[in-house]
Chain A
Amino acid sequence: MSEKDADAYSDWQSHDCACGMPHGPDGGHAAGCDGSELSEDEPRTEDGLLMTPLHALHVELGAKMVEFAGYSMPVQYAMGVLKEHLHTREKAGLFDVSHMGQVILVPRKASASAALEALVPQNIQGLEEGRQRYALLTNDEGGIEDDLMVANKGDHLFVVVNAARKEPDLARLREGLEPGVVVKHVTTRALLALQGPKAEAVLSGIAPELAEMRFMDVRDVVVDGIEIWVSRSGYTGEDGFEMSVPADAAENFARKLLAHEDVAPIGLGARDSLRLEAGLCLYGHDIDAGTSPVEAALSWSIQKIRRADGARSGGFPGADRILRELAESAPRMRVGLKPEGRAPMREGVPLYAAEDGADPVGHITSGGFGPSTGGPVAMGYVPAAMTAPGTVLYGQLRGRRLPVTVTKLPFVAPNFKR
């Protein structure tokens, strides 16, 4: 037997996606954050990898640990990727996402939300207190520098960014927002996600008020004297919560959740297949600095007020291209793709318009086996004329062209509590 993919986990080695996380603190922040860059004295494994506050727990639980964005992270536990995936869709899965970047934006001489609007095409000033929104840091060419979650916590904004993008994002935020707004990198808190249809019932046993939250609500709760910043969001397509917990209390909190019979620990492997079925982008794969929000089928995330005829139209990096594409359409688009048969088509598989067409018309950016769909699922970029659901294209796999059908995303219907 020989491994064909030299990096079996290449998908997980350098990127992560933000599409769901929690939010901010108390306003005091002094206990929860410092202004420092990625700290040199963070705990590391013998191999020099960063450790999250739950590292010892992962090892104790028998996780297979792999490198991801400089961190030692659990890719799977004894249950295995397939069962972890199905468990999350059926009950509740606990994810350690502490590698992601938690950032607080505190107004000093300027409004944090007005200032942030100069960096993202989203309506941040209209984001109500206690609510969270998906946003994109764009560049001057209209490409996506990162996707992130922004929460309005009243006296500050709480932002969660991808692990592999922490440094460039912090630099971009500081350059764009300081000195009018203080950018604080929170390095003393873990980030946990509890995802799945049983998540609400599990958390209600610990903090009953969390059941009142709707999808994308944010609020702080105190559990056993520990302040937890909660958002009702995630990266699985399921109902769920993301929770920022003080690092020194994180393991106990995780154990408390794992003690519930419906909760199992879930690794990055299932995190990836869950988000793929949910049609959510993985930064560095489905979206990157050369991909515009319109191409990426993320136009829904750009509110009217920031578009051509909106009251606060433009004013973000790459607005020329993005507003033009919003008005006219982009030459290529991200779509869902369903390979026929059972063979998974993974990232990089070229797509052709015909069984014998000469040049590829696009390629797959994420793909694999979807445990809940029971077959292969993928996403990729195709020309605008080929985006209609039902369009048949051909993916080239091991020298053969196999049919792939353009399919509406997501593959699995979302299960959010709106």
Chain B
Amino acid sequence: MKYTEEHEWLDIDEDGIVTVGITVHAAEQLGDVVFVELPDAPKTVSKDDEVVVIESVKAASDILAPIDGEIVEVNETIVDDPSKVNDDPEGDAWFFKMQIEDASVLDDFMDEAAYKKFIA
């Protein structure tokens, strides 16, 4: 599992599909999530594109594309029940899956130990 400074987690499988969500820390900071808007898949995106809108009781935030690639699947269950993002942010409440060309771009991101230090 890799982590971004934007508090996203990235999990790559053997087929080069990266699952993206937000961290427990991010979900706690956001507070109760009440609205999620996901892009229509498939969608080609560039790193730092605003791809997801997430609103908590406090404020609106964006989820940025962490890398270049194609969004191939989105998690509609969190649109239907945004509170899942608070309940299981690093599990069932993933946001989208991306197909990437070159898995080595993930090397630049933090591992769990580095992320824990980052949010400490």
Contact = CB atoms under 8 A, between A and B. Distances in A.
Interface stretch (B11-19, B49-57, B97-105): B49-57
Contact of B57 (A2, A3, A273): A273
Interface string A57-83: 000000000000000000010001111
A4 B59 CA distance: 7
A344 B34 contact: yes
Contact of B64 (A1, A80, A81, A346): A1
Contacts of B64: 1-2
Interface string B7-46: 1100000000000001000100011101101000000000
Contacts of A3: 59, 61
A131 to B, nearest CB: 35
Contacts of A4: 59-62
Given A80-B31, A342-B35, A1 B58 contact: no
Contact of A398 (B8, B34, B53, B83): B53
B6 interface: yes
A262 B34 CA distance: 26
Given A76-B31, A369-B34, A8 B59 contact: yes
B106 interface: no
Given A342-B35, A344-B35, A2 B55 contact: no
A106 B55 CA distance: 48
A346 B62 CA distance: 16
B61 A369 contact: no
Interface string A1-16: 1111100110000000
A370 to B, nearest CB: 9
A83 B34 CA distance: 13
A344 B55 CA distance: 8
Contacts of A83: 32
Contacts of B6: 1-2
A143 interface: no
B63 interface: yes
Given A2-B62, A76-B31, A343-B37, A368 B8 contact: no
A368 B60 CA distance: 10
Contact of A1 (B22, B31, B34, B82): B22
B62 A1 contact: yes
The CB with the most chain A CB atoms within 10 A, among B32, B53, B64, B83, is that of B32
B57 A269 contact: yes
A9 B34 CA distance: 16
Contact of B58 (A2, A9, A371): A9
Interface of A: 1-5, 8-9, 76, 80-83, 269, 273, 342-344, 346, 368-369, 371, 376, 398
**Top 3 closest pairs, chain A to chain B, by CB:** A82-B32, A369-B34, A8-B59
Given A269-B31, A368-B57, A369-B55, 6 more contacts: A1-B64, A3-B59, A80-B86, A269-B57, A344-B34, A369-B57
